[in-house]
Structure 1
């Protein structure tokens, strides 16, 4: 029977990617004068959601190993910072420029946003692989499905962001994978199952 803590942590790691998957279904494929206003407003609406993806790897590894907790935290911050720049530039900024008829300026916003967003996406992939690999080391084969799902989801996010259908599938993989990992890592007690003799952090 899952504990209240496990349920709350599962919600914490699942709700952000599920929200992004729902938004991704209606995300315009192309930015043009007809889609510009919705493109801009959509990215304003999810501005605070994208960074939340970076918490999940830290939630999985925290309390087990100091260095891994720090590594997951740093990678999460890198992802949140640089991917937010992509959201602001290529999402809000490019949409606003296109809406105002400044078509020649949108490629500049896209190019800079993509360059910064790539750094964030790679950091998220690294954090997912780190957390998934650690979970498999701690819990064995039972953690492998979750680890594979979050790795796949992060790569699909790197390649297609949240665009339908591949990007949406990536977010669903992240949601399911993180829940599976949380259940495995927190299944022993209401608190994180730290190895015997090691302090919680």
Structure 2
């Protein structure tokens, strides 16, 4: 169940990314705004998935990793609130883009970039701990998670790069969770005998 739950946010984001407009204008503003209201609920679940996978890490990794996951939730959420919801609302109100909405996008993108770097750093913490603990069993998940987290730095969820990033993140988180769960069951079986 945990494996499915940590994969679900990335898969939902990839699906929504297929509909993300590449440009904000009067014709896309309504969906742009509404989509980012939905995303404001889904993006924090990526940070929650990281939080869960950091549970088995040593404290000296777990606490900084969770601070980074929290940083992702806060700063990337600010991007969605400002450039997504706010930018869409201003475009709707003005009947199109205007110079007045540029500060929303500028600060939103700056905060979102910081949040994406927090996500990558938390992913690195997860990957290092997974490789040390589960070795080759964790390798596929770590590759997917690192590739997805790197692509996510500058792709948001736009098609195609952002959709690929979110799909890789989902597969990576799920594979690491699965490796961890199968590692635990092997240890539990050996202690019973």
User: Pairwise mapping of residues 6-45 of structure 1 onto structure 2 (< 5 A)?
Assistant: 8-45=1-38
TM-score normalized with structure 1 length: 0.88
Q: Supply the distance in 2 between the matched residues of 1:142 and 1:77 (Cα, whole angstroms).
A: 28
What is the correspondence of 1:125-140 to structure 2 with a 5 Å cutoff? 125-140=120-135
Q: Which has the higher helix share?
A: 2
Give the conservation status (yes or no) of the 8 Å contact 2:13–2:163.
yes
Alpha-carbon spacing, 1:174–1:69, altered in 2? closer, same or farther (3 Å):
same
Alignment of 1:46-125 (within 5 A): 46-101=39-94, 103-125=98-120
Is this contact kept in 2: 1:27–1:163, CA < 8 A? Answer: yes
Task: Describe the superposition over 1:21-80 as per-residue Cα deviations: whole angstroms up to 9, x where unpaired.
Answer: 110000000001111111001101221111111122232231341222212211110000
Q: Tell me, yes or no, if structure 1 residue 160 matches structure 2 residue 163.
A: no
TM-score by length of 2: 0.91
Which residue, out of 138, 142, 145, partners 1:147?
A: 142
Alignment gaps of 5+ in structure 1: 1-7, 197-201
Mapped partners of 1:111, 1:51: distance in 2: 21
CA deviation after TM superposition for structure 1 residue 188, in Å: 3.5
1:100-146 CA distance string (max 9 Å, x none) = 11622221111010011111100000001110111011111221111
Instruction: Kindly indicate whether the alpha-carbon contact (under 8 Å) linking 1:63 and 1:192 is maintained by their aligned counterparts in 2.
Output: no
Q: Kindly report the root-mean-square deviation, in angstroms, between the aligned alpha carbons of the 2 structures.
A: 1.9
1:191 Cα deviation after fit: 11
Query: How far apart are the structure 2 equivalents of 1:10 and 1:169?
Result: 19
5+ residue gaps, structure 2, are none
